[in-house]
Chains A and B, each alone.
Chain A
Amino acid sequence: MSTISTTLPEPSWTLPSRGLVGMVCLIVAESAVFIIFVVAYIFYLGKSISGPTPHDVLEVPVIGPICLLSSSLTVYLAVAALRKNKVRPCSFWLAATVLLGGIFLAGTAREWYQLIYQHGLTIRTNLFGTTFYSLVGLHATHVVVGLIMLTLALVLALLGRVSEANAERLDVLSLYWHFVDAVWVVVFSVVYILGR
């Protein structure tokens, strides 16, 4: 087996990283799932046979979307810091990301609370309720999953288990987070702008 060097005539043989390719595949598949929910939402706009309608009860959220979109920037900064092996700034930016994501979720929770208890809109009220809670809920589920993973990364960073060697993994995670943000742009446009 000492003759292994002769079997490598193409030393420049490099392939893309597995993690990134895998995450891109996951994003493509997830996009298909989201597209179906978005299509259902648009298809059923105005088809509810009883109230309330989106125009009656939905308010355009401001703080939540701003927080979620800014968290894309903070997670990018976290990866950039880790690439330079700066673990403390990385932890800081990860914590900021988790915080911003948490604020977004809290905003969604508050919105749902008001819809359910003030306007009486639940998932079984009418078609709007069914499609709204499904689409926004599907996205919120993805936010929760992302937050769990980001929190895990944050805890590991605080425990000193994270180094430059993990930068690529964090990069893969950040790609997922960017995807969750991008989906929100679509959901926001459809639900709160087009749909109202």
Chain B
Amino acid sequence: MADYLPLTGAIDLTSAPKARPLVLEVLHGWVTTVDHKKIGLMYIGYALVFLVIAGLEAVAMRLQLAVPHNSLVSPQVFNRLFTMHGTTMVFFVGMPILFGFGNYLIPLMLGARDMAFPRLNAFSFWIAAFGGLLLYFSFLGGDGLYGAGTAPDVGWFAYAPLTAKVFSPGHSTDYWTLGILLSGVGTIGTALNIVTTIIAMRCPGMELSRMPLLVWLYFITCCIVFVAVGPLTAAQIMLSIDRYLGGHFFDTQAGGSAVLWMHFFWIFGHPEVYILVLPAFGFANEIIPVFSRKAIFGYPAMVAATVAIGFISLSVWAHHMFTVGLGPGANTFFTLATMIIAVPTGIKIFNWIATLSGGNIHFTVAMMFCVAFLFQFLVAGLTGIMLSASPFDWQLSGSYFVVAHFHYVLVGAILFTIFAAFYYWFPKMSGRMLDETLGKWHFWLFLVGFHLTFDFMHIPGVLGMPRRIYTYEFDRGWGIWNLIVSSGVIFQVVAIGCFVFNLLRSYAKGRIAGPDPWDAWTLEWSTESPPPVYNFATIPTVQSRRPLWDLKHPEDPDSNYEM
């Protein structure tokens, strides 16, 4: 900057010493902020808190199930634990953490200074955050007038007629409904904001075909949010009408249908899986090429596969309902649709492998998590294809095989890439590197714990152990498997401890990262770490998918090859 000044030394360039801001001032800054980066960080922090809470609920359940005839928790508490664990992990961990990264990264990757609607962004965050608080307030307020029940205990998909006033007296189910309703409103608001940002806020030259794949995946994700979260919101409104105004939507006594709730819930519920997994794919799409030192293989195929997943994901929901007895026509349709979705997903896996192939692979912690993700996601997909065959599903629906399958997706694929994203983007967000040694401890411990828990969880499922039971008899032959499954939890808890410790310690005294520690290619690495409030001093202009490559290698820019 000094070069531009008319007379060197005429102006004092040293900034005035700033007084350390008061805690209240800092707090006020965070509460009133509309900056996409701060909101993104609040999303992530909020999700991490709930990750620990919901994780502890899972630990309690695994302790209870470790041995037969255990009486650590009562059946009622067990019901609340699995309800709260599932609801929290999906609505108040998965979606906020992914939206947090999206909020933080998308404007930076597009060369924009903020999201399209900054105030809507803050509104969406706070409304979703209060949804989570409302859900957990049920521990205090769920008793209602009847003194029955505290936290909701109807399961995360809350099948009718369990949620009817007769079977769920008190207010616990209302807290569940309202918490999800609020989360849904916030989710739609953020999705709307992200789509608008992507369409209307790109920097010059950032054509749709030049956007980073992460941005593309968030774009499709948010389009799915519109058509999937809307029905969930509608269903929650109907449930509230039933519970508060005496309506009969899901009241089987008055001719209402319990199956209709299942349809409405899973019309949301299955696309939700893709809402969670597509951003996770997005992380892999950014991290794998950078640490293979190659451009992503098959960019257009990746985009096309994502769009295909988006469409097909809307027509697979009833594979959660094969045991209802939908009839041969519906069973066949949903079996086929579910199997077909494996095709675009397979295309993605092939593209990632092709990106790795022949690359100069750097096994940083972020990359290790991504490689583990590839294998685990493949296994999760294979058990998914098994379950998509309706006759097979009739045998195993509602068993621990299903629990193992979807945890393989949610933990083995999504959580692993989220960890990768932390190791990859933490330097950008904080200005400091996460410690790689601690990170490797985190990775290996979590890998061992994950496989102990979720590989062996398939077996009691095949042996007939139903999900959601609070204990089981000695003579079932499930004891040893459950003990192994529970023992994996110890490794996972220690690993998460390493991770949290790593976050805190590196934030305080990690190695200074600099703007571009990974020698990466997308625009977020062109600005300081952490980026200034305005992101870019001058709005950048891009000519290819890897603008920073062009900048670093002017003799051989990507734009020569991307016609």
The reply to whether chain A is a binding partner of chain B is yes
B-binding residues in A (CB < 8 A): 1, 4, 7-10, 13, 15-18, 21-22, 25-26, 28-37, 40, 43-44, 47-49, 123-124, 126-127, 130-131, 134, 138
List B residues 187-230 near A (Cβ within 8 Å): 188, 191-193, 195-196, 199-202, 204-205, 223, 225-230
Interface majority SS (helix, strand, loop, mixed), chain B:
helix
Given A13-B204, A15-B202; A7-B539 close (CB under 8 Å): yes
Cβ of B145 within 8 Å of any chain A Cβ, yes or no, is no
A124 to B241: give the CA distance in the assembly, Å: 9
Report the nearest B residue to A130, measured CB to CB.
B247
Q: B225 contacts which chain A residues (CB < 8 A)?
A: 29
Q: B255 contacts which chain A residues (CB < 8 A)?
A: 44, 47-49, 126-127
Q: B193 contacts which chain A residues (CB < 8 A)?
A: 22
CB <8 Å contact, B199 and A131: no
CB <8 Å contact, B226 and A124: no
Given A1-B538, A18-B201, A127-B255; A40-B226 close (CB under 8 Å): no
Report the nearest A residue to B541, measured CB to CB.
A7
Given A22-B117, A28-B226; A134-B254 close (CB under 8 Å): no
Q: B391 contacts which chain A residues (CB < 8 A)?
A: none
Q: A36 contacts which chain B residues (CB < 8 A)?
A: 230-231, 234-235, 264, 267
A22 to B285: give the CA distance in the assembly, Å: 27
Q: How far is the CB of B206 from chain A (nearest CB, A)?
A: 9
CB <8 Å contact, B249 and A25: no
| Complex interface bits, B1-13 against A, C-beta within 8 A gives 1, otherwise 0 | 0001000000000
CB <8 Å contact, B246 and A124: yes
A48 to B226: give the CA distance in the assembly, Å: 31
CB <8 Å contact, B192 and A33: no
CB <8 Å contact, A25 and B192: yes
**Nearest 3 interchain pairs by C-beta:** A32-B230, A124-B246, A36-B234
Cβ of B248 within 8 Å of any chain A Cβ, yes or no, is yes
Report the nearest A residue to B540, measured CB to CB.
A7
Report the nearest B residue to A31, measured CB to CB.
B230
CB <8 Å contact, B230 and A33: yes
CB <8 Å contact, A10 and B229: no
CB <8 Å contact, B247 and A21: no
Q: How far is the CB of B200 from chain A (nearest CB, A)?
A: 5
Cβ of B506 within 8 Å of any chain A Cβ, yes or no, is no
Selected from A4, A10, A35, A37, the residue in CB contact (under 8 A) with B205 is: A10
A26 to B4: give the CA distance in the assembly, Å: 46
Cβ of B33 within 8 Å of any chain A Cβ, yes or no, is no
CB <8 Å contact, B200 and A32: no
Q: B254 contacts which chain A residues (CB < 8 A)?
A: 48-49, 126-127
A175 to B223: give the CA distance in the assembly, Å: 19
Say which size band chain B's interface belongs to.
35 or more
CB <8 Å contact, A127 and B226: no
Q: B188 contacts which chain A residues (CB < 8 A)?
A: 26, 29
Cβ of B245 within 8 Å of any chain A Cβ, yes or no, is yes
Q: A7 contacts which chain B residues (CB < 8 A)?
A: 538-541
Q: How far is the CB of A106 from chain B (nearest CB, A)?
A: 23
Selected from A17, A29, A131, the residue in CB contact (under 8 A) with B229 is: A29
A-binding residues in B (CB < 8 A): 4, 116-117, 188, 191-193, 195-196, 199-202, 204-205, 223, 225-231, 233-235, 237-238, 241-242, 245-249, 254-257, 260, 264, 267, 537-541
Report the nearest A residue to B234, measured CB to CB.
A36
Number of A-B pairs, beta carbon distance below 8 Å:
126
Selected from A1, A8, A22, A26, the residue in CB contact (under 8 A) with B116 is: A22
Given A43-B260, A47-B255; A25-B191 close (CB under 8 Å): yes
Interface majority SS (helix, strand, loop, mixed), chain A:
helix
Q: How far is the CB of A92 from chain B (nearest CB, A)?
A: 31
Selected from A15, A48, A124, the residue in CB contact (under 8 A) with B201 is: A15
Q: How far is the CB of B112 from chain A (nearest CB, A)?
A: 10
A126 to B200: give the CA distance in the assembly, Å: 47
Selected from B4, B192, B226, B257, the residue in CB contact (under 8 A) with A43 is: B257
Q: B117 contacts which chain A residues (CB < 8 A)?
A: 18, 22
Q: A33-B233, A124-B247, A127-B248 are in contact. List 6 more A-B contacts (CB 8 A).
A: A25-B195, A26-B188, A36-B230, A126-B255, A131-B249, A134-B241
CB <8 Å contact, B248 and A124: yes
Given A36-B264, A134-B238; A13-B205 close (CB under 8 Å): yes
A44 to B188: give the CA distance in the assembly, Å: 28
CB <8 Å contact, A29 and B247: no
A49 to B255: give the CA distance in the assembly, Å: 6
Q: B267 contacts which chain A residues (CB < 8 A)?
A: 36
CB <8 Å contact, B249 and A40: yes
Q: How far is the CB of B195 from chain A (nearest CB, A)?
A: 5
CB <8 Å contact, B226 and A32: yes
Given A36-B231, A43-B257; A25-B196 close (CB under 8 Å): yes
Q: A22 contacts which chain B residues (CB < 8 A)?
A: 116-117, 192-193, 196
CB <8 Å contact, A21 and B230: no
A134 to B229: give the CA distance in the assembly, Å: 19
Interchain residue pairs with CB less than 8 A apart (12): A9-B205, A10-B205, A18-B201, A21-B195, A21-B196, A29-B229, A30-B230, A35-B230, A40-B264, A49-B255, A123-B247, A126-B254
CB <8 Å contact, B541 and A9: yes
Report the nearest A residue to B247, measured CB to CB.
A130
A22 to B255: give the CA distance in the assembly, Å: 40
A4 to B223: give the CA distance in the assembly, Å: 35
CB <8 Å contact, A126 and B248: yes
Q: How far is the CB of B534 from chain A (nearest CB, A)?
A: 12
CB <8 Å contact, B234 and A15: no
A27 to B246: give the CA distance in the assembly, Å: 29
Q: A29 contacts which chain B residues (CB < 8 A)?
A: 188, 191-192, 225-227, 229-230
Given A10-B205, A126-B254; A32-B227 close (CB under 8 Å): yes
A130 to B538: give the CA distance in the assembly, Å: 57
